[in-house]
A and B are shown apart, each in its own frame.
Chain A
Amino acid sequence: MQKLLLGDEAIAQAAIDAGMSGVYAYPGTPSTEITEYVQASKLAEERNIHSDWSANEKTAMEAALGMAYAGKRSMTCMKHVGLNVAADNFMNAAITGVNGGMVVVVADDPSMHSSQNEQDSRFYGKFAMIPVLEPSNQQEAYDMTYGAFELSEKYKVPVMIRVTTRIAHSRAGVITKELKPQNNQSLPSDPRQFVLLPSIARKQYKVLLGNQDHFNAESENSVYNHYFEGEDKSMGIIACGLGYNYLREILPEGDCKYPVLKVTQYPLPEKQVKQIANETEKLLVIEEGYPMVEEMIKGFLEKEPVTGRLDGTLPRDGELNADIVAAALGIQTGSKESKVPDFVANRPPSMCPGCSHIDVYNALNEALAPFGQGRVFSDIGCYTLGALEPFNAINTCVDMGASITMAKGAADAGLVPAVTVIGDSTFTHSGMTGLLDAVNENSPITVIISDNESTSMTGGQDSSALGRLEAICQGLGVDPEHIRVLNPIKRNHDDMVKVMQEEFDYDGPSVIIPRRECIQKAARRRKMEAKQKAKS
């Protein structure tokens, strides 16, 4: 059956069809739509497949590992920087191995369309020494995910699927496969497999090491890695993942005279890499992300030049496209006639008119004016746009939750008042533990949790913080007198400024919670309510 699916949706559909029992994730562009698809799927609901959001990527991956421990097939999805949060579990899950199949989907964002960096998750896959699948199109995204659960169960190891923005957020027709039953619950055959005490971990690690040759053989025999013969041996092309797709846009199979090695399953297939290196005089490596394969090959081939992102044949940063790949092959695209006129201005994203964060920043800027610039530590979400005109209100945005802890460190260094602006969902993702540090040392920081009751930047998913913020802050030990809840509307501007100033003066950790529902979420909610009313 053919369906028109985003790459993300193809992964989700494949997991459902392959008998997955649960997906665990925290929203993050460009991975969010995978979990949302499962949440909206009637079939997933009928099959009782878990799909609620987790508090962060680490809790998500741990829950997925727990489900795999209990014998069922599980999946965890995240954006590339989310894997940093989950990395502790990820690295160790490769050593414990799994019982039921476990698939880790990581969506990278080269060119940083919606991210702080463009790290390449294939390195994590290599680091953990597990098989990595990197689809070059939506159909492969489906087929690979469908097969990944079997590969995972065959070697009892998690398998990574690595996609990038262009596959994740591009739609194409996808042919689906037969629906499989879910696994029954079962315990691991070795009761100590998951106990990573040093003596057991050393044994388990040898199992992982012992599997490396098998993983290589899987890559060498994989239908996803393919060697295309070519008459012109002056150059060989190794095209990885999406890079293969762009290559074929420019040089379709019939028109390409060079030998081509398509790599979409890792570890790198040794046999085919040696073959293309032996047959050709130089190599061009086309890969989306960091020059991982290029670096691996370079230095081993003494005489043969290897070109790609490292020598400037392809740009060192940013995502690939057909034009960039064409230029690397010496082929001209584009017309000289139509140039974009200079007066076309950048149109950066901005906060929606009526957004509660706007009222928070207007009050904060006024309240902080007497103290001068440079003391607002912020975080990841719509409110990060407070860094731009006309607010220029924040000074940092580094990683999820870093606002509170960086403010604490700056306060330790004497920067008082130090202020944090963090969202509700980011606070429960990774802010809570930092607040505990501040409470334990009575650090003089003012934490503004700008609560819009939603995870908005990724599309308004439910926030784990909903209805819990005051209780969490009190539970962590913040003095209830210094937990101040505000209604961030224009009319309350002066009150907000006053409350902020009072808390800046307090010599200890205080929390201000301006709370008003995200206007986008509110609009969707009203629409839904009207629809339901019309039905009844």
Chain B
Amino acid sequence: MKTDIILAGVGGQGILSIAATLGAAALENDWYLKQAETHGMSQRGGAVVSHLRISDEPIYSDLIPKGSANVIISVEPMESLRYVDYLSEDGYLVTNTKPFVNITNYPEEKKLMDHIQSLKNVVAIDADQIANDLKARRSSNIVMLGAAAPFLNMDISVLESGLKQIFGSKGDEIVEMNMKALHAGYKFAMENK
């Protein structure tokens, strides 16, 4: 198996919790993993991206070549398009629909969403709303991970196990909340892909 994932968002949105879960899952399965993160200046409300590569064979580049990502997971709709040239022809774009507007020239929302919907393989999900409905407001990123789960070339049980490792130290309640978030996202994607 080989999965290349672009994780996108705005500094402070916590995309690294998604990466950490996938990382834990990869390590448990003895897969190779590379995960390039954004640290430093851009973390202050700027565009941030993480390249995540998982494979059962050794991986060289820390950065994914353009046109070869299996999935873009973006916790912000405009940010999902910033990296769209990394997506492979049959790759999936999975994005949260809730804009994070901290700039004056943010595009018109309809234009943005129309463009996203015009792409071949898209899952556009209001992860914040779903997380709120679950009373798991802080788990919207795990809803996003769940929504991407059908396209990651790995069984969802692998992700469940990753969640247990990452959130285990915070208690069963937190683990359970994130499990629910994961499955809610997964269900949405299966019904809307």
Task: Return the contact of B46 from the options A326, A343, A347 (Cβ within 8 A).
Answer: A347
Q: 1/0 per residue B45-87: CB within 8 Å of A?
A: 1110001000000011111111110000000001101111101
B33–A171 touching, CB < 8 Å: yes
Interface-side segment among A67-75, A96-104, A333-341, A426-434: A333-341
Across the interface, name the chain B residue whose C-beta is closest to A29: B40
Q: Would you list which residues of chain A between 197 and 241 have a CB under 8 Å from chain B? A: none
Nearest chain B CB to A358 CB, angstrom units: 12
Interface-side segment among B99-107, B130-138, B177-185: B99-107
In the assembled complex, the Cα of A319 lies from the Cα of B102 at a distance in Å of 28
Q: Would you list which residues of chain A between 294 and 352 have a CB under 8 Å from chain B? A: 321-323, 326, 333-335, 337-341, 343-352
B41–A349 touching, CB < 8 Å: yes
In the assembled complex, the Cα of A350 lies from the Cα of B38 at a distance in Å of 15
Taking the complex as formed, is B36 at the interface, i.e. its CB lies under 8 A from any CB of chain A?
yes
Across the interface, name the chain A residue whose C-beta is closest to B37: A169
Taking the complex as formed, is A114 at the interface, i.e. its CB lies under 8 A from any CB of chain B?
yes
B40–A341 touching, CB < 8 Å: no
B105–A345 touching, CB < 8 Å: yes
A4–B23 touching, CB < 8 Å: yes
In the assembled complex, the Cα of A114 lies from the Cα of B40 at a distance in Å of 6
Across the interface, name the chain B residue whose C-beta is closest to A79: B40
Known interface pairs A33-B39, A344-B107, A345-B107; A351-B44 also in contact (CB < 8 Å): yes
A334–B65 touching, CB < 8 Å: yes
In the assembled complex, the Cα of A469 lies from the Cα of B42 at a distance in Å of 29
A458–B65 touching, CB < 8 Å: no
A30–B39 touching, CB < 8 Å: yes
B40–A113 touching, CB < 8 Å: yes
Taking the complex as formed, is B190 at the interface, i.e. its CB lies under 8 A from any CB of chain A?
no
A137 cross-chain contacts in B, Cβ below 8 A: 60
B37–A171 touching, CB < 8 Å: yes
In the assembled complex, the Cα of A326 lies from the Cα of B66 at a distance in Å of 11
Nearest chain A CB to B28 CB, angstrom units: 10
**What is the total number of residues of chain A having a CB less than 8 Å from a CB of chain B?**
52
A338 cross-chain contacts in B, Cβ below 8 A: 67, 84-85, 87, 119
B65–A245 touching, CB < 8 Å: no
In the assembled complex, the Cα of A350 lies from the Cα of B100 at a distance in Å of 14
In the assembled complex, the Cα of A202 lies from the Cα of B102 at a distance in Å of 59
B192 cross-chain contacts in A, Cβ below 8 A: none
In the assembled complex, the Cα of A181 lies from the Cα of B16 at a distance in Å of 35
Nearest chain B CB to A298 CB, angstrom units: 27
A340–B42 touching, CB < 8 Å: no
A4 cross-chain contacts in B, Cβ below 8 A: 23-24, 27, 33
Known interface pairs A249-B61, A347-B102; A170-B67 also in contact (CB < 8 Å): no
A245–B81 touching, CB < 8 Å: no
B44–A172 touching, CB < 8 Å: no
B45–A352 touching, CB < 8 Å: yes
Q: Which of B35, B65, B84 has the most CB of A within 10 A?
A: B65
Across the interface, name the chain A residue whose C-beta is closest to B104: A389
A29–B41 touching, CB < 8 Å: yes
B102 cross-chain contacts in A, Cβ below 8 A: 347, 350
Q: 1/0 per residue B162-183: CB within 8 Å of A?
A: 0000000000000000000000
Taking the complex as formed, is A408 at the interface, i.e. its CB lies under 8 A from any CB of chain B?
no
A340 cross-chain contacts in B, Cβ below 8 A: 81-85
Across the interface, name the chain A residue whose C-beta is closest to B116: A341
A170–B62 touching, CB < 8 Å: yes
Besides A32-B39, A170-B37, 20 other CB < 8 A contacts?
A30-B39, A113-B42, A169-B36, A171-B33, A173-B32, A245-B61, A250-B65, A321-B61, A323-B65, A323-B66, A333-B65, A335-B66, A335-B87, A341-B84, A345-B103, A345-B107, A347-B47, A350-B102, A352-B12, A457-B44
A-B contact pairs, 27 of them (CB 8 A): A114-B42, A137-B60, A166-B36, A166-B63, A169-B36, A169-B37, A170-B37, A171-B33, A172-B33, A245-B62, A246-B60, A248-B60, A248-B61, A322-B63, A322-B65, A323-B65, A334-B65, A334-B67, A335-B66, A338-B67, A343-B108, A343-B111, A347-B10, A347-B46, A349-B43, A457-B40, A459-B39
Interface residues of B (CB under 8 A from A): 10-12, 23-24, 27, 32-47, 51, 59-68, 78-79, 81-85, 87-89, 102-108, 111-112, 115, 119
